[in-house]
Structure 1
Amino acid sequence: MSSRAGLLDRGRAWLSHHRDSAADSLGRLLARPLGSLLTCLAIGIVLALPAVLAQALEEFRQLSGDWQAPDRISLFLRESVSEEAALAWREELEALPAVARVDFLSRDDALVEFRELSGFADVLDGLEQNPLPHLLLVAPAASEQAAQLRARLLRDERVAEAVLDSAWLARLQQLTDLGRRVVWVLGGLLLLGVVLILGNTLRLAIESRREEILVVKLVGGSDAFVRRPFLYTGLWYGVGGGLCAGLLVVAVFALVGPAATELAALYGARSSPLGPEPMAIPYLVLLGALLGLAGAWLAVSRHLGEIEPS
């Protein structure tokens, strides 16, 4: 019975010290609000940067996923090819089994369309002659044959250039994948930076309380007992940094979100507002707390052993 009572007493003492350590470490941070706020802001900026980049990249990936690039081959004909010859070749191409459809766009129609879309009407009107070629838009019968059909048509002497319209989307997806990897690497480096910032901050805190730590160790305090207040200090710094990061992310998307949504609408993409995920702030706070504990643990484990009563 007495052993059970002893365990309960030790449990209460352990919880009491946790509560006191958490309250004391928070009180020390609030006692120097400017320094604590600057540290939390530094952590918040470092956490917010990869979060903003990752969210922006995800929004762009979803936006590009809404774009449907047709498997269509644009044949830019040579200037020597007349409109009559282009129309005749169009009929020949439509008779091929590998071709589903061929549309013809004359150089005059192409100039009118380019003038409307480009906004360079004054410049185009000043040209002595139309610089645009006739254009044949070839739709393959099967998507998997598009590249092979393009290579075949490009060998024709009447073709100056053959462009597969879906090729740009494939390159865009590759760039998006590359961007995702860059964000992951950058995010990892920045998270390491958070741990280092907290480690240096806690190192200074340990040095400022060296005499107190020596006294605690002299009266028999364990390393875990001494470590606990600093772990809570790192935790509070991490939570504060996560909150700052969440607010910064919300502020960034509030500033650029409307313009980005309007831009997406121009490309026929979704019209929903651009913004962070609903759980972005809780995730950032949790991440900041974990990094705070990690940074504090590393700092205390390294420097606490250097402080021993002689």
Structure 2
Amino acid sequence: MAQRQTRSLRHRQGNRHVGSSGLIQRRLSAWLEQHRETAISTLYRMLQQPLGTLMTLSAVAIALALPTALVVALDNVKRLGGDWQRSASVSVFLEAEIDEAQGAQLGQRLQQFSEVEALRLISRAEGLSAFRAYSGLGAALDQLSENPLPVVLELQLKPAALEPAPLTALIERIEALPEVDFLREDAHWAQRFQAILALVQAAVALLALLLGLGVLLVVGNSIRLEIENRRDEIRIMGLVGATPRFARRRFLYSGAWYGLFGGLLAGLLVTLMVWLLSAQATSIAAVYHKTFSIQGLGLADFGALLLGSTLLGIIGSWIAVGRHLDLCDDL
């Protein structure tokens, strides 16, 4: 008898657990279905107003395309600047009495410095040949009885050594060597380049912030107009018991669609700009005997753009709907 009661109690508990689990699943399924229907209905309503939707999407896309294009340009400048920085060097001119063998010995010592990535010795003959080719003074150089040019050590520095403090310390160490006459620093421009690049990055970030606020205003204004046009519908929903959350959901989805499609259109505009400019960039690089191609938005960058634009659309819609619900007693 006791065993039968125990089995009956366990059976009821199991049915209760299954019932509660099934209830949660049904509620979740209903909640997802409501969101799906709301998303589809808001998208359908936007497509029924093509002119107004296109104008809003165009404004959002232009506001997003400008900072995105600047970010793409900045990334390409960084990539190009990285190639220049790798070619930045410090030319060490040795004393006139130092020959190639002594210069090679000094080069071995300098190559042990942690800041030096590579080293090349330029002999007197090689230096004179290069000077003859670039100066156009071949006839005058033929009159010289001996080669007046010194041995030169060209140091390729590591990227970390191009920072102001390490570069200054390295130059002071090299200048203190008795074999060194003077230095020519080709690496200082890299510091100026980094400073200009940091300034441009700050300007792009500020511009992106301002245009992001512009997207909020554009989406918010569009949602506010939509709310005003649907005031009667909102009043009816309130009369039949709709909650503010239910009414807000439709407008939030509208803002999300504005942001998503605006970001997609902005990405397409930036991709089109990259495609139009790639040929010119390649031809200019060919003039300088370089191979360079403009890189556009990657898959991760495109995804980040869509995510950011969608969030901006939702936030702009939330602000507009929140202010409307605060001012309107229809709900």
The residue number in structure 1 matching 2:324 is 303
Aligned counterpart in structure 1 of residue 205 of structure 2, from 170, 181, 184:
184
Letter in 2 for 1:251: L
Aligned counterpart in structure 2 of residue 58 of structure 1, from 38, 51, 75:
75
Structure 1 residue runs of 5 or longer lacking an equivalent are: 76-88, 116-133, 153-157
Q: Deviation of residue 194 (structure 1)? A: 1.0
Cα deviation code 1:221-268 (max 9, x no counterpart)? 111011011011111111110111011011110111222233345556
Aligned counterpart in structure 1 of residue 32 of structure 2, from 15, 22, 25:
15
Aligned counterpart in structure 1 of residue 91 of structure 2, from 53, 63, 72:
72
CA RMSD, Structure 1 to Structure 2 (Å): 3.8
The residue number in structure 2 matching 1:127 is none
Q: Report how many residues are paired.
A: 273
Letter in 2 for 1:235: A
The residue number in structure 2 matching 1:119 is none
Question: If the length of structure 1 is used for normalisation, what is the TM-score?
Answer: 0.72
Q: Percent identity?
A: 37
CA contact (8 A) 1:202 1:300 kept: yes
Give the direction of change, closer, same or farther, for the CA distance of 1:3–1:269 in structure 2 (3 Å limit).
same
CA contact (8 A) 1:203 1:299 kept: yes
CA contact (8 A) 1:41 1:241 kept: yes
Aligned mates of 1:179, 1:137 — CA distance in 2: 40
**1:223-234, aligned counterparts within 5 Å?**
223-234=244-255
Aligned mates of 2:301, 2:272 — CA distance in 1: 13
Equivalent residue of 2:74, what SS? Answer: helix
Q: Deviation of residue 300 (structure 1)? A: 0.7
CA contact (8 A) 2:89 2:186 kept: yes
Q: Which has the larger radius of gyration?
A: 2
**1:44-193, aligned counterparts within 5 Å?**
44-67=61-84, 68-72=87-91, 90-91=96-97, 113=134, 139=153, 147-148=171-172, 163-193=184-214
Aligned mates of 1:59, 1:146 — CA distance in 2: 30
Letter in 1 for 2:41: D
CA contact (8 A) 1:97 1:141 kept: no
Question: If the length of structure 2 is used for normalisation, what is the TM-score?
Answer: 0.68
Aligned mates of 1:49, 1:91 — CA distance in 2: 59
Aligned mates of 2:20, 2:172 — CA distance in 1: 83
The residue number in structure 2 matching 1:155 is none
